[in-house]
């Protein structure tokens, strides 16, 4: 057993941290206030490969796999959750769906410009009546000759307003439901019939753009079917598995940054004639936070290693998402407590971190769904089917 | 054009604390970084490469960990990285280091320009640059903020009194760059991966450079070290009024 990172990952982490500290941290507050991640920052990152971390170099990616991608999400998660939400929707689910199930021609046409950051991706699964229950998708795709016509709408789509290419999930056969009836399509947002609807006014991750997408008799050529007709649900699940690992990594970064900030404050803050770091109440909070972070770190990178080495990792991915998001919320909450009133100030980064952390318990499959996935996989091992 | 960049690693200053009272350095986190001024020298070389086309060759001594600095330089865009790697180099002082580098530059051959940092963050001696230029018999500009090349000459801008001076030297020449002279580019992530998975820096030893044991004997030997006195903590004042009161009380105003 060897738990050390290969030297290329150590060097990669150094670069990610430097970029995050120099280019993103100074903007994090503005990103939150002005509700946008500056295009120039993304472009600067794209120049050094940040928008294609896990993809092979032959598609213009960095070739760093899920492990490298998790390292980036952790390092950027330390400074700005809005930024990792944008990058995560682009790499982790939008482009990832094309990488996992696209044909060679689709990868050359779509993945390459996405990995180089020339184009931005989004992933459109959620609908007003279909979130965790993906089988209730209403968006219809009707075949006419060698084309499909899409009608319907999607909501809460990260990168919706800025995406050039969207992986869209639509019903091709209503009689078959989620398994067999849903197909994935690669949609270019400049096609006729594609519209961006209302923007969400969110509590946190305010810099990431989230919107409704509307398809009005949108023609998609048959060659843009992603994966096989009727197997879109499987494409979605495979993609989300990888997204959940990196989501856990982003939470890890947020929790780690909160711990470091709380310790710096505990060292600086004097009460009753001594630094509050000397108080046992503070020490216990710090110790508890650190334990949870360490457990999460092991879980995230072990799961990333499983994914990179071709092992099944679906259950662990659900754990990364579930545990990661709850660790982030819990530890950032405690870290805010250590900061006292200062942490409640709109001007302090921990206030933003606290708001930003909450969404991770909800999106990319609620934590309730993750628990269901984990439990059903566990029961399956003893021959019990518990999934409805 | 062929440009050589000489660089070395230093201990990341964010990873240690200096206790002047106890006269001790506490290393909390041992991390090595490329000397910041050397990184500016690399950036200057890569900018010249972008503009005029050049082969950039990076040289570094040091133990195995120097490989990280060399790979980093390669990932940023250098064409060749050479590790001057020999146990006999480990005792080198400024004079011997310049001697080793001069031999290596000879071996690289047909070099037009050598750039390096004007001083290292750790020793702060700033002697390798000028000694190296002497060993090569080349003109030198020290502490430059910018360097460009035109018609067989290097033009270097450096601080001069209250302003700046532009100096011109015939090539081949050596220019040292000050830390902060420019903003070094980030290495490309894909090149970082490649630098470890596919690339291997070359390694040159003392025999490769034709250096004898005598030539590697340091001239300086360190007898001990001392620390500057501990600085007095200042007083934090709450208001400008308080400052005025204190200044009056101490009869400053």
Q: Select from A223, A186, A226 the least CA-distant residue to A100.
A: A226
* Test the A interface: residue of B32, B186, B201 with most A CBs within 10 Å: B186
CB-CB: which of A15, A61, A68 is closest to B186?
A15
pLDDT of B88 over the 70 cut: yes
Tell me the backbone φ, ψ of residue B163, rounded to 5 degrees: -130, -145
Residue A193 Ramachandran class (φ > 0 left, ψ -120 to 50 alpha, else beta): left
Question: B189, A48: Cβ pair inside 8 Å?
Answer: yes
Any A CB within 8 A of B85 CB: no
Question: pLDDT tens digits for A304-335?
Answer: 999 999 999 999 999 999 999 999 999 999 99
CB-CB: which of A6, A19, A68 is closest to B186?
A19
Question: B189, A15: Cβ pair inside 8 Å?
Answer: yes
The pTM of the full predicted model, rounded to 2 decimals, is 0.92
Do A80 and A36 touch, CB atoms closer than 8 A?
no
- In this structure, are strands A147-158 and A140-144 parallel, antiparallel, or unpaired? antiparallel
Instruction: Please list every residue in chain A whose beta carbon sits closer than 8 Å to the beta carbon of residue B187.
Output: 11, 15, 48
**A31 Cβ contact list (under 8 Å, min separation 6):** A37, A38, A80, A82, A83, A206, A207
- What is the spatial distance between Cα A160 and Cα A59, in angstroms, rounded to a whole number? 23
Question: pLDDT tens digits for A338-382?
Answer: 999 999 999 999 999 999 999 999 999 999 999 999 999 999 999
- What is the spatial distance between Cα A226 and Cα A44, in angstroms, rounded to a whole number? 30
| Predicted local confidence at residue A388, as pLDDT | 55
List the structure tokens of A343: 């942490």
Tell me the backbone φ, ψ of residue B246, rounded to 5 degrees: -65, -40
Per the annotation, the verdict on A260 as an active-site residue is: no
Residue B152 Ramachandran class (φ > 0 left, ψ -120 to 50 alpha, else beta): left
- In this structure, are strands B173-177 and B113-117 parallel, antiparallel, or unpaired? parallel
Do B253 and B247 touch, CB atoms closer than 8 A?
yes
Describe the crossing of helices B94-108 and B128-136 by its angle, rounded to 10 degrees. 50
Per-window interface: B 176-195 vs A, CB < 8 A: 186-190, 192-195
DSSP state letter for A110:
I
Question: pLDDT tens digits for B128-162?
Answer: 999 999 999 999 999 999 999 999 999 999 999 89
CB-CB: which of B72, B186, B196 is closest to A48?
B186
Q: Select from A384, A260, A254, A269 the least CA-distant residue to A326.
A: A254
Tell me the backbone φ, ψ of residue A87, rounded to 5 degrees: -65, -40
Instruction: Please list every residue in chain B whose beta carbon sits closer than 8 Å to the beta carbon of residue A68.
Output: 189, 193
Question: Does B172 sit behind a cis peptide bond, omega within 30 degrees of 0 on the bond before it?
Answer: yes
Instruction: Please list every residue in chain B whose beta carbon sits closer than 8 Å to the beta carbon of residue A47.
Output: 188
| Predicted local confidence at residue B227, as pLDDT | 85
Q: What is the pLDDT along chain A (388 residues), one digit of tens a residue?
A: 889 999 999 999 999 999 999 999 999 999 999 998 999 999 999 999 999 999 999 999 999 999 999 999 999 999 999 999 999 999 999 999 999 999 999 999 999 999 999 999 999 999 988 877 767 899 999 999 999 999 999 999 999 999 999 999 999 999 988 888 999 999 999 999 999 999 989 999 999 999 999 999 999 999 999 999 999 999 999 999 999 999 999 999 999 999 999 999 999 999 999 999 999 999 999 999 999 999 999 999 999 999 999 999 999 999 999 999 999 999 999 999 999 999 999 999 999 999 999 999 999 999 999 999 999 999 999 999 886 5
Catalytic residue among A364, A368, A377, A381: A364
Any A CB within 8 A of B26 CB: no
Question: B190, A7: Cβ pair inside 8 Å?
Answer: no
Any B CB within 8 A of A91 CB: no
| Predicted local confidence at residue B241, as pLDDT | 92
Q: Is the ipTM of this complex over 0.95?
A: no
């Amino acid at each position: 057993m060897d738990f050390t990172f290969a030297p290329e990952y150590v060097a990669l982490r150094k670069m990610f941290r430097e970029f995050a500290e120099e280019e993103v941290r100074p903007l994090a507050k503005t990103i939150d206030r002005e509700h946008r991640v500056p295009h120039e920052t993304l472009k600067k990152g794209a120049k050094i490969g940040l928008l294609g971390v896990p993809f092979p170099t032959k598609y213009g990616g960095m070739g760093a796999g899920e492990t490298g991608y998790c390292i980036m999400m952790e390092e950027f998660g330390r400074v700005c959750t809005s930024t990792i939400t944008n990058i995560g929707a682009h790499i982790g689910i939008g482009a990832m769906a094309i990488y996992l199930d696209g044909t060679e021609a689709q990868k050359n046409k779509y993945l390459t410009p996405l990995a180089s950051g020339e184009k931005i991706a989004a992933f459109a699964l959620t609908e007003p009546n279909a979130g965790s229950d993906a089988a209730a998708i209403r968006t219809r795709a009707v075949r006419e000759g060698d084309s499909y016509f899409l009608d319907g709408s999607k909501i809460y789509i990260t990168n919706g307003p800025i995406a050039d290419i969207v992986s869209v999930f639509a019903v091709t056969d209503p009689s078959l439901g989620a398994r067999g009836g849903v197909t994935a399509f690669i949609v270019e947002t400049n096609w006729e019939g594609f519209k961006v609807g209302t923007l969400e006014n969110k509590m946190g991750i305010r810099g990431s753009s989230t919107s409704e997408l509307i398809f009005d008799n949108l023609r998609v050529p048959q060659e843009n079917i992603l994966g096989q007709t009727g197997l879109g649900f499987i494409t979605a699940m495979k993609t989300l598995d990888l997204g959940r690992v990196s989501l856990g990594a982003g939470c890890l970064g947020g929790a780690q940054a909160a711990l470091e900030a709380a310790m710096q404050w505990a060292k600086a803050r004097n009460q009753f004639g001594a630094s509050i770091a000397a108080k046992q109440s503070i020490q216990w909070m710090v110790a508890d936070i650190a334990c949870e972070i360490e457990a999460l770190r092991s879980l995230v990178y072990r799961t990333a290693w499983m994914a990179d080495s071709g092992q099944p990792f679906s259950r662990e991915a659900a754990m990364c998402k579930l545990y990661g998001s709850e660790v982030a919320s819990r530890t950032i909450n405690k870290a805010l407590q250590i900061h006292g009133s200062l942490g409640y100030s709109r001007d302090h980064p921990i206030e933003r971190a606290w708001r930003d952390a909450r969404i991770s318990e909800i999106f990319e499959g609620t934590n309730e769904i993750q628990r269901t996935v984990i439990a059903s996989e566990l029961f399956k091992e003893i021959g019990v089917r518990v999934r409805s | 054009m062929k440009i050589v960049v000489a660089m070395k690693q230093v201990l990341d200053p964010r990873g240690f604390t200096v206790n002047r009272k106890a006269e001790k350095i506490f290393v909390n986190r041992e991390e090595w970084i490329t000397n910041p001024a050397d990184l500016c020298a690399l950036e200057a070389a890569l900018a010249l490469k972008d503009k005029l086309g050049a082969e950039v060759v990076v040289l570094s001594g040091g133990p195995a960990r120097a490989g990280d600095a060399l790979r980093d330089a390669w990932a940023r865009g250098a064409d060749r990285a050479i590790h001057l790697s020999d146990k006999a180099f480990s005792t080198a002082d400024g004079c011997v280091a310049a001697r080793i580098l001069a031999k290596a530059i000879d071996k690289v051959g047909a070099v037009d320009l050598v750039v390096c940092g004007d001083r290292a963050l750790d020793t702060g001696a700033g002697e390798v640059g000028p000694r190296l230029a002497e060993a090569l018999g080349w003109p030198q500009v020290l502490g430059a903020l910018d360097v460009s090349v035109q018609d067989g000459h290097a033009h270097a801008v450096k601080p001069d009194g209250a302003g700046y001076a532009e100096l011109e030297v015939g090539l081949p020449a050596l220019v040292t760059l000050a830390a902060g002279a420019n903003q070094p580019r980030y290495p490309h992530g894909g090149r970082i991966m490649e630098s470890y998975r596919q690339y291997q820096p070359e390694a040159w030893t003392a025999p490769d450079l034709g250096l004898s044991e005598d030539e590697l004997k340091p001239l300086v030997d360190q007898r001990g070290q001392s620390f500057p006195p501990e600085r007095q903590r200042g007083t934090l004042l709450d208001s400008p009024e308080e400052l005025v009161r204190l200044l009056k009380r101490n009869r400053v105003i």
